[in-house]
Structure 1
């Protein structure tokens, strides 16, 4: 087991020179630290892990995300990710090749394509709530937020065998949690399951779904390789599980701290789509990503040399007061909300429509079925926080029994 480094307090010097995205202290003081970074040094150079740059201002984050010719995903990021890594397509591919992979996926996650999934998604949400509502308490992450997105995706998007759903969802969920001891093993098991699954699908008749689209793809005039198929399906799986779970967990913490929010949404459910956008802005769990400079460039008044790496913080951009007035406030009356919770540029999340639908349905049922939601007294809320961020556990109490 790796030795645990002693806690390093977050000082101004730490923010300006020694920023460590894997720091437990950053996980605990996440948004206040990013706010200090935006104020003191919106583009800073850290000497950790061989050196990298950190961008925290909306304008700079957007520029790096959109300028793929200067800031590459394909060149590789050696800054540690805090957990097991595998090549995931098309995240690690730049345009124009990246667009070929992404077109395979995009058509299967439009609002029109996922519309028929709404009814079975709502049924799944209610089935999960049924499992704990009579107890008057639950660990919201364990009992709802983490199982929900995976069970829905494996069933509705991938048409995975019903007998596999619980097991493969466990693999995918654990693979998304870098602090969990079994994470690496579960990532390997997930990849093995995907390999067997796509081979079974090759032998079956077409279903017209995203799996068929990937299996039948041609990449620059050649058939897609098995590695590319597994990498693409793996992206589809991992891209939406812990990210959606993290937003749900943070939303529940916000509901507990501000009970007027669920009360308002219960009384005015037409506000739930706007609430989803504001929750994504404030508590989006896809917090940052890395890029590598293809050539010498400039960012925020600093010279970035060819080959140097930059971590851009979506979570910080989403609370930048230059873009969002009163940025730390949950405000359903914002005239515009150009958040980057799903990223930006060519690698913007292909599953954003699905994530929004899942969040909308989940919040709708939660606020109508759970009353007097409170954080369990004495609960110690801890977050895992690397490139994704989510509460590890959210123990809550509520009035026992369904409100339906």
Structure 2
């Protein structure tokens, strides 16, 4: 952090304008005020860090760049110290028209109607996790609920992967979500090897008609899909479906504990839970940044971006832009428009958004039903967050009025 900035202060204007670093540890606790300052004073800024890149923070500019894949490529993102993943995440790091061939393989399994078929099973999984802690009246929400839930749903309902391996895969996904550390890079390598072994195992089994079979049997541009492509696609499904949803759940719980009026409102108006999920995603989305590379010269927010320049988009900044949202820092269910970009925008928008929404909606419904008097534990230390492209609390210790098990 630049000299002169202290805890509780926004990082300095000079830092925001010229030396913004999305990997800076200081940014974790100052993310929203820093991005607010950038939206006001330097909405499209150029940083000298990491070889140089642009950072785009306003809603209209973020959406414009995300939708314009012909000018801004997803194939090369912002350089991460230590190097990128050895296997690209597919189709996130592929541009149209090839991108469409990959995405069509998975889209059918994550439509609203397809996801609806898993609702009852998901509610059972949610209540099973609540049963494990409900009598104690306290838990670490991340360890006991937020991290296990998306993995349970995904492993059991979509991947048909061995349930006994879920805990380790969840752990690897959490550690690997911070790829700037040696531990993170090692965890990603271990996870990629696990995915490769899982895919090989599934090839030897009878088809189950799931998304894994669709990927394994795919043809890409008239040829059989390669093993590396299979791993790349399953990698994206796992990373997109585990740590990010866990992060959204964790941030949701923090806000519920800090703003009990939201809890009171939703307990009296359960019909508003779906809208509440959208507003919570807008306020506290788990996807922070994503990188693009300019394929040709372009002007964004009045700034000249040259071919080959790196560009970093901030989804969470766009979601707090007062040019798009009135009272952007407040929870407001009366909004007539909520065009948030918590799941991205353009052709690379998250394919699993409907599944994430279902997990969040059912989790919120059942937590409110069964956990009265939600609060952070009195002796809880400040909540730390992972720093990187995804934002997830490391721990969220909560307390509540104990209740009975239901199973």
| TM-score normalised by the chain length of structure 1 | 0.94
Change (3 A) 1:23 1:248: same
CA distance in 1 between counterparts of 2:200 and 2:282 reads 39
Q: For structure 1, which segment, 360-369 or 184-193, has the greater mean C-alpha deviation from structure 2 after superposition? A: 184-193
Q: How far has the Cα of 1:175 moved from its partner?
A: 2.5
- Is the 8 Å Cα contact of residues 52 and 79 (structure 1) preserved in structure 2? no
- Is the 8 Å Cα contact of residues 80 and 180 (structure 2) preserved in structure 1? no
- Is the 8 Å Cα contact of residues 2 and 15 (structure 2) preserved in structure 1? no
CA distance in 1 between counterparts of 2:101 and 2:355 reads 21
Residue 391 (structure 2) aligned to one of 389, 392, 402: 389
CA distance in 2 between counterparts of 1:291 and 1:326 reads 29
What whole-Å deviation, never above 9, does each CA across 1:35-67 have from its counterpart, x for those lacking one? Answer: 100000100001111111010001110110000
What whole-Å deviation, never above 9, does each CA across 1:173-219 have from its counterpart, x for those lacking one? Answer: 33234477743333222212211111121122221111111011111
- Is the 8 Å Cα contact of residues 293 and 304 (structure 1) preserved in structure 2? yes
Which ranges of structure 2 fall in alignment gaps of 5 or more residues?
6-10
Alignment partner, residue 77 of structure 1: 77
CA distance in 2 between counterparts of 1:326 and 1:263 reads 21
Alignment partner, residue 45 of structure 2: 44
CA distance in 2 between counterparts of 1:314 and 1:244 reads 15
The answer on 1:154 being equivalent to 2:155 is yes
- Is the 8 Å Cα contact of residues 151 and 166 (structure 1) preserved in structure 2? no
Q: How far has the Cα of 1:345 moved from its partner?
A: 0.4
Change (3 A) 1:386 1:72: same
Q: How does 1:87-166 map to 2 (within 5 A)?
A: 87-166=88-167
SS in structure 2 at match of 1:384 = coil
CA distance in 1 between counterparts of 2:214 and 2:281 reads 30
Q: How far has the Cα of 1:23 moved from its partner?
A: 1.1
- Is the 8 Å Cα contact of residues 247 and 283 (structure 1) preserved in structure 2? yes
SS in structure 2 at match of 1:135 = coil
SS in structure 2 at match of 1:68 = coil
Q: How does 1:167-246 map to 2 (within 5 A)?
A: 167-178=168-179, 182-246=183-247
Alignment partner, residue 277 of structure 1: 278
CA distance in 1 between counterparts of 2:20 and 2:172 reads 32
- Is the 8 Å Cα contact of residues 78 and 312 (structure 2) preserved in structure 1? no
What whole-Å deviation, never above 9, does each CA across 1:115-153 have from its counterpart, x for those lacking one? Answer: 221111111111111111211111111111111111210
CA distance in 1 between counterparts of 2:178 and 2:121 reads 27
What whole-Å deviation, never above 9, does each CA across 1:191-248 have from its counterpart, x for those lacking one? Answer: 1221111112112222111111101111111100000001101111111211111111
- Is the 8 Å Cα contact of residues 7 and 25 (structure 1) preserved in structure 2? no
- Is the 8 Å Cα contact of residues 81 and 387 (structure 1) preserved in structure 2? no
Which ranges of structure 1 fall in alignment gaps of 5 or more residues?
none
Q: For structure 1, which segment, 213-222 or 6-15, has the greater mean C-alpha deviation from structure 2 after superposition? A: 6-15
Q: How far has the Cα of 1:19 moved from its partner?
A: 0.5
What is the count of residue pairs matched by the alignment?
Answer: 399
SS in structure 1 at match of 2:234 = helix
**Structural RMSD (CA):** 1.9
Alignment partner, residue 370 of structure 1: 371
CA distance in 2 between counterparts of 1:182 and 1:7 reads 30
Q: For structure 1, which segment, 32-41 or 259-268, has the greater mean C-alpha deviation from structure 2 after superposition? A: 259-268
- Is the 8 Å Cα contact of residues 150 and 173 (structure 1) preserved in structure 2? no
- Is the 8 Å Cα contact of residues 135 and 405 (structure 2) preserved in structure 1? no
Change (3 A) 1:324 1:368: same
Q: How far has the Cα of 1:169 moved from its partner?
A: 3.0
- Is the 8 Å Cα contact of residues 274 and 332 (structure 1) preserved in structure 2? yes
